[in-house]
Amino acid sequence: MEEKHRLFVAVDILYICMMVLPIVFGIVLRILTAPPTEGISITGARILFTVPMPIQDLPITEAQVNSWLVMISITGLCLFLTHGLQIRKVSKRQHLAEWIVEKLDNMVRESMGEFFMVFSPFIAAIFALSAISSLSSLLGVYAPTADVNVVAGWGILVFILITYYKLKGGLLNYLKGYTEPIAVMIPLNILGEIATPVSMTFRHYGNVLSGSVIAVLIAAALQALSSLVLGWLPGFLGDIPFLQIGLPAILSLYFDVFSSCMQAYIFAMLTMLNISGGFPQELYEKRMEKKLARKKKAAESI
């Protein structure tokens, strides 16, 4: 019994390391690779190295690396929360895991309906990846959501799912949708279809990046104002940015915490609404009924 307990604890420690070490690695990587700068420096994701390819070289940026680090941390968190599940003597973390699953299932059920309940893990992954990627900036790691290429990948994935479920009603019905209400609207309907992933991408990316930029600019402005107004104080007191104390922390709570979680929720909600809204359920059910009828008829003829 004691040996089982030790093994259980050892696995827990392994999962905790799986959660923490990737983020620590991201912080160390940022410190070691960040070039020295003076004053305000707002740049995109740095290219860490380039992989030679036949047509075009593939640059590997810190946003891509940090995305994988965040995914490893989320995997470790999921394994930790679901380790040692029991029917009786339920632990606190099992209560937490069940509460998360219950709330997520309710959200998917209310937004997408019973047919799309299989999407709960996907929506959880999108929400967790977005939120934790944005919150990683609090630790000095470059947030993957501040890179348009990363968020664009999510938008393209969602667009593929939207198109897939629209095609559930049949190819002819899907193409017919571009001619509604009249055939002249085909170019605008095609443009509107493409606009969905584009708007989702730039809404998420723009809000995360603009929040970071605003917070940096205000912090730099307060530092300069403090030096101008209070620079006359004797000794080291004149070098302390007193006006920079307080307000940047409050802004960080909004831009880095509240706004990050809100943008993750909005992206997940738009994903659910766009996928379920484009699904022609009545046409799909009619197609399935016809398909079953043909199979039944073929079976009877045999």
Q: What pLDDT sits at residue 3?
A: 78
Tens-digit pLDDT profile for residues 213-240: 777 777 677 766 666 666 656 655 555 5
What does pLDDT average to over the chain?
83
The encoded tokens of residue 228 equal 């101008």
Distance CA 52, CA 55 (A): 9
Contact present, 214 and 255 (Cβ < 8 Å): yes
Question: Which residues of the chain have a pLDDT value below 50?
Answer: none
Per DSSP, helices labelled H in 231-280 are 247-252, 259-277
Q: What pLDDT sits at residue 147?
A: 87
Give CA separation, 160 vs 51, 111, 154, 196, 273, in Å: 27, 19, 10, 11, 14
Give CA separation, 237 vs 246, 294, 300, in Å: 17, 86, 93
